[in-house]
Homo-oligomer: A and B are copies of this chain.
Amino acid sequence: MTVEYDNEEFFQQYAQMERSKSGLAGAGEWHQLRPLFPPVEGLRVLDLGCGYGWHCRFAAEQGATQVLGIDLSQKMLDEARRRNPGPQITYRQCGIMEYEYPEDSWDLVVSNLALHYVEDLEQVFRLVNRTLSAEGCFLLNIEHPTFTAGVGQQWVCSPEGKPLYWPVDGYFLPGERRTEFLGCEVVKYHHTLTQILNGLLQADFTLAAVEEAQPPEELMSLPGMADELRRPMMLLVKAQKGKRG
């Protein structure tokens, strides 16, 4: 996990994004992510890379008894405490790799658009599996392998600046990708689909849903949103702890 989010300039830019201003309603993936949540009533919920805390608040509002949101960025957590507080919610500054993942302690682990900042997904999957209770659920949204394998993670554009196509290269060379996002250099990690899905299977999860985020009709008027239909950007996965059968 990187701390670009603590860079003042980056943080200001991030604050201007629709998902920052409007919360879940402004997030193109929410109409698909929300139905993947199990009934949250009575659950203990851990959010890996909680950002502004929108999902923590959602979980609390849905009846979670205990919610912990961890994030590496202090600025993000300040914002989360201000915007999305709640008596059941704790926010804590902690990296995804640094968290202790106590055994059998959470019923639902959520991670929205944070795991592409982590290099060793396999290890995270093992740790999440350990910290989940017996029937626990892991709900994750990670940048799509087709997106993270994009050259510079940018469209190839015409001389007039019109996106022509999404250029993929180096797909089977997972690892660090330095890209520009909101005017800053951001370090992310490309993982193949095999690493994500077979990684979950090998960490003793059952796959309950695999969906690529497709922005809904009502957000199509937002700048750049129509291009989101041209290549997949996010991969949503619902994984249940345990092998079935």
CB within 8 Å of B: which residues of A? 145-146, 149, 151, 156, 164-173, 192-194, 197-198, 201, 206-212, 214, 229-232, 235, 240, 242-245
Please determine whether A194 and B167 come into contact, CB atoms closer than 8 angstroms: no
How many copies of this chain sit in the oligomeric assembly? 2
Please determine whether A172 and B208 come into contact, CB atoms closer than 8 angstroms: no
Please determine whether B231 and A169 come into contact, CB atoms closer than 8 angstroms: yes
Please determine whether B231 and A171 come into contact, CB atoms closer than 8 angstroms: yes
- 23 A-B residue pairings within 8 Å (CB atoms): A146-B149, A146-B171, A149-B231, A156-B167, A165-B167, A165-B169, A168-B168, A169-B230, A170-B229, A171-B230, A171-B232, A172-B214, A172-B230, A172-B232, A173-B229, A193-B193, A193-B212, A194-B211, A197-B207, A207-B210, A240-B245, A242-B245, A243-B244
Q: Chain B residues with Cβ under 8 A from A167's Cβ?
A: 156, 164-168
Please determine whether A210 and B198 come into contact, CB atoms closer than 8 angstroms: yes
Nearest CB in chain B to that of A149: its residue: B231
Please determine whether A231 and B197 come into contact, CB atoms closer than 8 angstroms: no
Q: How far is the CB of A184 from chain B (nearest CB, A)?
A: 24
Please determine whether A201 and B192 come into contact, CB atoms closer than 8 angstroms: no
Nearest CB in chain B to that of A245: its residue: B244
Q: How far is the CB of A36 from chain B (nearest CB, A)?
A: 11
